[in-house]
Amino acid sequence: MTTVTPHETTMPSRKTVIPAPAPDRARPAPVPRSAEVGWQELVDAVRESGQYRTRAEAESVTRIVLSALGGHVVGDERVDLARALPEEAARVIASQVPATRPLTAAEFVESVAARIEGSTPATARWDVSSVLSVLPSFVGEDLITRIIGQLPQGYALLFGRAELTPAE
């Protein structure tokens, strides 16, 4: 008679390996969340301030006004403004060549009107104020005061501030 001795059979352990998805080369690298969110918040604030129908319209106006402003703010104020704004807005400001002469507030508005198809001085003034009036909540009142101080008279109104002049 033959006896069978029971023996333990060990099953080889299997590790399930799930391969990582192949990189999607068609998709651009994601923008860091905080930078993207900051830009979106700025555009949304402009959209609300200017009562623009679409986000795209508000974004276009924001880019145009910031690029115009970028040529007129110089020195430490320009550097501080770029540092304080969301990354995308900072790029728009910093990419501008400084203007050879400062524009009056009216000339500044006209220069923005020339960049927006179908714009008039009145609609451009609305666009400029819609962007500039939201900047203090992003960069602080002190920096806006310094920026207004280096610009010709008349810009304070575009930032939503009263233009105060000393009494004679």
- What pTM was estimated for this model as a whole? 0.76
Whether the pLDDT of residue 24 is over 50: the answer is: no
Element containing residue 147 per DSSP (H, E): helix 141-150
Whether the pLDDT of residue 12 is over 70: the answer is: no
Number of domains making up the chain: 1
Digit-coded pLDDT (tens) for 48-78: 999 999 999 999 999 999 999 999 999 999 9
- Is 19 part of a structural domain of the chain? no
DSSP secondary structure, 67-108, as one string:
HHHHTT--HHHHHHHHHHS-HHHHHHHHTSPPPSSPPPHHHH
- Is 57 part of a structural domain of the chain? yes
- Is 14 part of a structural domain of the chain? no
Residue-number span of the structural domain to which 55 is assigned: 37-43+50-158
- Is 5 part of a structural domain of the chain? no
Dist CA 149 CA 75 (whole Å): 12
Handedness of CA 30, 56, 68, 76 (dihedral sign): negative
Whether the pLDDT of residue 6 is over 60: the answer is: no
Dist CA 21 CA 106 (whole Å): 56
Residue whose C-alpha is closest to residue 111's, from 73, 143, 69: 69
- Is 31 part of a structural domain of the chain? no
**How many C-beta neighbours within 10 Å does residue 42 have?**
23
- Is 63 part of a structural domain of the chain? yes
At residue 163, the pLDDT reads 76
Q: Provide the pLDDT confidence category of residue 34 given band limits of 50, 70 and 90.
A: low
- Please report, for the domain that includes residue 147, its CATH number: 1.10.490.110
Digit-coded pLDDT (tens) for 122-142: 999 999 999 999 999 999 999
- Is 131 part of a structural domain of the chain? yes
- Is 10 part of a structural domain of the chain? no
Q: Which are the contacts of 103, defined by CB distance < 8 A and separation ≥ 6?
A: 72, 111, 152
Whether the pLDDT of residue 10 is over 60: the answer is: no
At residue 167, the pLDDT reads 61
